Amino acid sequence: MRPLKLTLAGFHGVRDGMRRDSVTLDLTTLPPGLIALVGPNGAGKTTLMDNLHPYPIMPSHASKMSADAFSYWGHLCGTRGEKDLEWEHAGKQSRSASAFRDPGKSRKAEYYLFEKGANGDWVPLQLPDGTLSDGKADTYNRCIEAVM
């Protein structure tokens, strides 16, 4: 799996560390070789690294490597958060899009997995058994496991 482009919005590490509402990291323009993220403690480096994969977990904050051992809610600020990751694996391009909303009544998280279609459009992933990435966490996890 190779991450290509990451956009984060509404994360504490972005707002507090970078003093921004959102950040986009385009990894396709980086030169080959070792790349280092440099900055003071609390600058948002870990937030970026923790989100450079399609799984719904931030590894450095999880009590164990399982989606049920982690919640994004403690890492989001405000009422909205987003994670959008474009990546490639096994010669195919995919896009993971997660949206988090906390209007005060109840929290809502949506997770979508898209694949790049023949004409360059992002289309929801559909597995051979008919499972379609529909925004639900369980469906998203099944789709990610099938792709990876």
Segment 25-35, tens digit of pLDDT: 999 999 989 99
The pLDDT confidence band at residue 132, using thresholds 50, 70 and 90, is very high
For residue 135, the one-letter residue type is G
| pLDDT at 45 > cutoff 80 | yes
pTM of the model: 0.92
Return mean pLDDT, the chain. Answer: 92
Q: What burial letters (b/e) apply to 89-122, b meaning 16+ CB within 10 Å?
A: eeeebbbbbbbbebeeeeeebebbbbbeeeeeeb
